[in-house]
């Protein structure tokens, strides 16, 4: 799924948890109190991170959770990690090649009742109603949610300011596999253009700036 990203971005993904994923002692300590499923998810995510970093020529290193749980990347690297049921993915790029990156994966299933109304602006609800509704179309409400998650992941490492779902207005292009996010708050970005894909029952959105 992550092969939609530019060649300068190194990626790794798994469609299930790895039984033999290694954790450095520092990483294992951060996950020691988690339930078994969460520990497997954490370890598989770290395995993806290390494979992606290796594709940039970097050695295996501990990658610890930082503020709000986001990975603390090695010096000179920006990256993003995502996980959902049946998927873990990591994308990294040298800071000389990109300022920030955000990826998000979600199941291609409708959002629970009331969630779309809670996360979408009025203009976005109108957009969702107008998007194609044929059987092969993705669940547009979930795609909108994923795009907003990717916006936050790309925004926060640079702005260092928390934003909510109402801080960006998303326009989805159903034919080009892209979306545009207009930022409605002051900060280092006025907007993002992102990519989206549907594959294997999953939705993926991604932003690289």
Q: How far apart are CA 46 and CA 18, in angstroms?
A: 11
Residue 125 pLDDT exceeds 90: yes
pLDDT tens track for 155-168 = 999 999 999 999 99
pLDDT tens track for 41-100 = 999 999 999 999 999 999 999 999 998 888 999 999 999 999 999 999 999 999 999 999
**For 67, which DSSP code?**
G
The tokens of 106 are what? 């979600």
pLDDT tens track for 96-116 = 999 999 999 999 999 999 999
Are 94 and 188 contacting, i.e. CB atoms less than 8 angstroms apart? no
pLDDT above 70 covers what percent of the chain?
100
Region for 69 from its dihedrals, namely left if φ exceeds 0, alpha if ψ lies in -120 to 50, beta otherwise: left
- pTM value? 0.96
Give me the DSSP letters along 6-25: -TTSEEEEESS--TT----H
Instruction: Give the closest residue to 73 by CA, choosing from 96, 93, 57.
Output: 93
Question: Which whole number is the average pLDDT over 115-130?
Answer: 97
Question: Please, where in the chain does CATH 3.90.470.20 lie?
Answer: 2-98
Residue 6 pLDDT exceeds 90: yes
**For 5, which DSSP code?**
S
Question: Which whole number is the average pLDDT over 28-49?
Answer: 94
pLDDT confidence of residue 67: 83
Q: How far apart are CA 195 and CA 113, in angstroms?
A: 26
pLDDT tens track for 170-203 = 999 999 999 999 999 999 999 999 999 999 999 9
Q: How far apart are CA 84 and CA 201, in angstroms?
A: 12
**Number of Cα atoms under 13 Å in the Cβ half of residue 46:** 25
Of the two residues 205 and 70, the one the predictor is more confident about is 205
pLDDT confidence of residue 152: 97
Q: Right CATH number for 2-98 from 3.30.70.260, 1.20.120.450, 3.40.50.620, 3.90.470.20?
A: 3.90.470.20
| 135 pLDDT tier (thresholds 50, 70, 90) | confident
pLDDT confidence of residue 69: 85
């Amino acid at each position: 799924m992550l092969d939609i990203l530019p060649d300068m971005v190194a990626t790794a993904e798994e469609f299930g948890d790895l039984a033999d994923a290694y954790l450095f002692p520092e990483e294992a300590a951060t996950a020691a109190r988690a339930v078994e499923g969460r520990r497997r998810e954490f370890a598989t995510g770290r395995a993806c991170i290390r494979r992606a970093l290796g594709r940039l020529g970097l050695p295996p290193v501990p990658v610890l959770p930082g503020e709000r749980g986001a990975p603390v990347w090695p010096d000179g690297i920006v990256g993003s990690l995502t996980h959902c049921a049946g998927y873990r993915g990591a994308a990294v790029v040298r800071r000389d090649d990109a300022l920030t990156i955000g990826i998000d994966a979600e199941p291609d299933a409708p959002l629970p009742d009331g969630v779309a109304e809670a996360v979408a602006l009025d203009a976005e609800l109108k957009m969702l109603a107008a998007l194609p509704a044929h059987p092969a179309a993705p669940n547009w409400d979930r795609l909108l949610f994923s795009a907003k998650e990717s916006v936050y992941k790309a925004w926060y490492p640079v702005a260092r300011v928390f934003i909510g779902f109402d801080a960006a207005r998303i326009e989805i292009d159903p034919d080009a596999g892209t979306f545009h996010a207009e930022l409605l708050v002051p900060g280092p970005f006025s907007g993002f253009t992102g990519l989206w894909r549907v594959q294997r029952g999953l939705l993926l959105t991604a932003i690289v700036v």
